Structure 1
Amino acid sequence: MLPAGAGYRESVSWTLWGGTACMVVASIVAFLFQWKSIVRSFSSLGAMFSLSKKRKLTDVEKIETPMSWFLTGQLISLGALGYLAHTSFNVPYWMSCIAVVISFFLALVVCRITGEANITPTGAMGKVTQLIFGGIAPGHVTANLMAANITSGASSSSADLLVDLKVGYLLGANPRKQFIAQFSGIFLGTLVSVLAFRSMVPDANALQAFNAPGARTWAATAEALGMGFSHLHSIKVLSIIAGGILGLILVLIPRYIPRTGKWLPTPIGFGLA
């Protein structure tokens, strides 16, 4: 299948399928095992959106971030994100809205799991979104990938902010002032990161030269879920099946036979490698 002397670029187009399936199945199964954390995350939504009548704020509420700031930020972010996704990647506005809604709920789950286990399952959240959009919008590979990117970015940022607030709490920092500092840093951070990335990656050819394994697994998943498995070579389909079974095994065995866990590789590390 591969020509003699084929390098990384040629071989990875085949080998990534088993690894991607291993990561996807393992991430989703591990995510489903966290159902108790998921239920607790959704049960807290009612308290989060309870807007009481005007009254005198307590000393604690004076240093907390107001709910009005959160709701305003959500609306502004939704409009800006929908516009950028549509103009940059031709993603329909309704898809961006669904991605943001999904991201909001999954970010709650990520924050809950991060607080309990100190592990941020960002990859699993992105794969869940890709599965959802694979059913909602089949054939939209770009929308599938960008929706997963929205969820992954929101989940990762939410978990990072949660950790920052925890550190600030331990140091006695004011949560409201922390929020203002984070908000101010968004603008400078966006400017610096975009300009730096632009200087490193001026075009698509420069981007492909990086050969990022993680990015290739995301793209492969988007292609598989967006265009269907009928477009894949039979060997790739078998690799997906074998990788999925391996990912399932690497999650289930350590869970039900704990003493074997130290002898088995992690499915995420194995699949990425």
Structure 2
Amino acid sequence: MSEIGTLYVVATPIGNLGDITLRALETLKQVDAIAAEDTRHTVGLLRHFGISKPLVAVHEHNEQQAAEGLLKRLQAGESIALVTDAGTPAVSDPGAVVVQAVRNAGVKVVPIPGASAVIAALSAAGIVEPGFCFEGFLPASGSQRRKRLDRLKGIPVTLVFYEAPHRIVECVQDLQTVFGGGRLLTIARELTKTFETIHTASLTDTVHWLQADSNQQRGEFVLLIHPAPAEKAEGLDDNTQRVLVRLLQELPLKQAVALATEITGHKKNELYEAALAIKAAS
């Protein structure tokens, strides 16, 4: 009986082909076959690096059926690489159904990490508050999109979305409606590509910026909604406010207040009230 094969989940470049990793290239050269979201797109990537492998189409319309076929091949001893058109499979792209089926069957799954639009955008945005919530693509329908955003607006960390060019203006207008025109947004457009743009402004200004230049409405988008600024409690100086906000991000309320009292010298009751106000604002 042949040894069971391995499924490799391989991240590919999001634009610049130079971002592919050495490990990804080695894996693509060694596997028996490559399961690809769009075989035509993947052929171009493989040709660029002088790789020739049998390809299997795995996209959103055939993923369940394709998963069954891939599992049989893996159980027969083949090694298979799973790729998407750009970035990492199973993250806002097809692949999760395949990975789940393979793992449920006890077949080994090995991630081969690489370029990430989310991490690239966050690294260049200069958002100092820790933590983020990745939501991927929002609903295409305006009413459903606004409902989804309304459920997310209380989350106190950076919110990360993907968006398509034909919906970008409408999406940012909905962000403005739900989060308010003063909330900061960083748009990361066409990351790693020729016309890469990283732009930060209020939501109101961003709507005008997009409408004023149709070129800025083209390409692939990562949207970063900055966390809402904490409301300053009355009676606290700026430094004390910053200390308290930072401690509340890392510690439970009572521990944060106790430590802030020791650091700043303010009265515990005063800081406790301020902490409650900050929590409520978040």
| Same-fold status (TM-score > 0.5) | no
TM-score by length of 1: 0.27
Question: TM-score of the superposition, structure 2-length normalised?
Answer: 0.26
Task: Tell me which protein shows more strand as a share of its residues.
Answer: 2
Structure possessing the higher relative contact order (Cα contacts under 8 Å, 6 or more residues apart): 1
**Which one has a larger percent helix, Structure 1 or Structure 2?**
1
